[in-house]
Amino acid sequence: MNPTLPATLRGLAMSSLIGLLGGVTSRVGAVEPDAAGVEFFEKKVRPVLIARCYECHSVEAGKSKGGLVLDSREGLLKGGDTGPGLVAGNADKSLIIEAARYKNQDMQMPPKKAIPADELKILEDWVAMGAPDPRSAVASSMPVKKVRVIDIAKDSKHWAFQPVLAVTPPAIEGVRNPIDAFIVSRLRRAGLELSAPADKRTLIRRATFDLIGLPPTVAEVDAFLADTAPDAFAKVVERLLRSPHYGEKWGRHWLDVARYADSNGLDENIALGTAWRFRDYVVNSFNEDKPFDQFLTEQLAGDLLPARSVEQRHEQSVATAFLNLGAKVLAEPDKDKLVMDVVDEQIDVMGRAFMGMTFGCARCHDHKFDPIPQDDYYALGAIFKSTASFSSERTGAISYWFETPTGSLDDFAAAKAAELALDAKKKAVSAAVSAADKALKDDARAH
């Protein structure tokens, strides 16, 4: 992939377009509209443009949505992001007519409601007449469309990319933790006070629902109400954090981020028969209080990490299912396109899950809002493209994901023994069938 090639092609295309636009402008400007054309424009066309278009596309309104202004002849001919606004003499090839006809779902103007049929007819007739336009070639202060140039150094100074710094909590008496100190300080600035502490029954219900997603049992509530020790609530929290339901409750949030499902979705919607292994990996990671950086690293490259045991190696390999989950068009006939679509989806979910940012825009151009140049996108793409996402053994119209066997050495030994025993039984059955068949044939020949 050469990221500079699309830029070169875009440059050639823009040069050609500018040349074409220049020819159209000079050709139209060379012929002044006759009196009938001027009258038609002023009495019929201009009122429609003012009423339906100028609000979003005029110098007077200070707006040029889509890079388009319609209150000057040059602005109309030059058009906006999608090309010239009209082709004089040909309504069917004029973008403003296409938009006004409301037949193209991707190009409908005005955006909220189509213009009346009689007004559309006026515009169509006007373009068919050659689009006579007595207005000046350039509006008095044609707005210039600003092209945003990515400045990584400048954009990286945005507050969202700054490291988290230690902050001294406000000095508030009677609070149990620093978070409460900030809350009370802000409440008091608004003339408010913190609510009274919740009663013990409410407290245990809140904690239990929050941490494991289930209500406390009657016995658990009674035990907490009877416990008058200062650390009674701390003991409840510790018990809940040790519960296997804790990982089930909070692991679900990460499974949503990782687009977990038991099937592929989209065209074939093939069942992911072993996806449950990733689900269990996430649940167990939460229950084990695994360090978050380790949790993320395992999902990106767990199969490349050193392992202390076969079991750990398998666990880390299961974690990489993060990359293969999600909707994918497995029936895509163009296998190269399928690979790049999967790479794009993997980059996208990595950006959203790990950084809270969208990367997908940079597949086609430098990101418009985040400091992500296209070069960086394809640098990431080169890494993900080296990932074996699909099996090379199962070929055909439907592509299948790559799978790695898991299990302990004892599991593999037991599986091998079972496989050998099964083969032996198959051979015994085959030999018995052959013997019976031979005996039947011999008996038939004897009689």
Which range is most confident: 33-42, 199-208, 313-322? 199-208
- The residues facing 80 across adjacent strands are 83
CB 304 within 8 A of CB 368: no
Tell whether 275 and 323 lie within a shared domain: yes
Tell whether 232 and 270 lie within a shared domain: no
On the 0-12 / 13-18 / 19+ scale of CB atoms within 10 A, 265 is middle
- The residues facing 390 across adjacent strands are 401
* Higher pLDDT, residue 186 or 57: 186
CB 143 within 8 A of CB 79: no
Tell whether 329 and 255 lie within a shared domain: yes
Question: What digits encode the pLDDT tens for the residues 265-298?
Answer: 877 788 888 899 999 999 999 999 999 999 999 9
Instruction: Please give the average per-residue pLDDT across 190-217, as a whole number.
Output: 95
CA distance 146 to 124: 31
Average pLDDT, the chain: 83
- For the chain, what is the domain count? 4
CA distance 69 to 74: 9
Residue 27 has pLDDT above 70, yes or no: no
* Higher pLDDT, residue 34 or 27: 34
- The residues facing 58 across adjacent strands are 63
CB 320 within 8 A of CB 358: no
Tell whether 279 and 223 lie within a shared domain: no
Q: What percent of the chain has pLDDT over 90?
A: 36
CA distance 299 to 278: 10
Q: Kindly state whether residue 208 falls inside one of the protein's structural domains.
A: yes
Closest by CA to 311, choosing from 402, 242, 410, 416, is: 410
Tell whether 262 and 360 lie within a shared domain: yes
Extract long-range pairs of 338-344: CB within 8 Å, 24+ residues apart: 338/390, 338/399, 339/385, 339/389, 339/390, 340/381, 340/385, 342/389, 342/390, 343/381, 343/384, 343/385, 344/381
* Higher pLDDT, residue 208 or 103: 208
* Higher pLDDT, residue 428 or 263: 428
Q: Kindly state whether residue 364 falls inside one of the protein's structural domains.
A: yes
Tell whether 318 and 428 lie within a shared domain: no
Q: Kindly state whether residue 151 falls inside one of the protein's structural domains.
A: no
CA distance 86 to 80: 11
Question: What digits encode the pLDDT tens for the residues 328-367?
Answer: 888 888 888 888 999 999 999 999 999 899 998 888 888 8
Last residue of a domain, one of 222, 242, 262: 242
Tell whether 262 and 228 lie within a shared domain: no
Q: Kindly state whether residue 157 falls inside one of the protein's structural domains.
A: no
CB 63 within 8 A of CB 54: no
Give the pLDDT of residue 181. Answer: 94
Confidence of residue 190 (pLDDT cuts 50, 70, 90): very high
Range(s) of the domain holding residue 58: 18-128
Last residue of a domain, one of 128, 146, 164: 128
Q: Kindly state whether residue 3 falls inside one of the protein's structural domains.
A: no
Last residue of a domain, one of 385, 400, 425: 385
Give the pLDDT of residue 108. Answer: 80
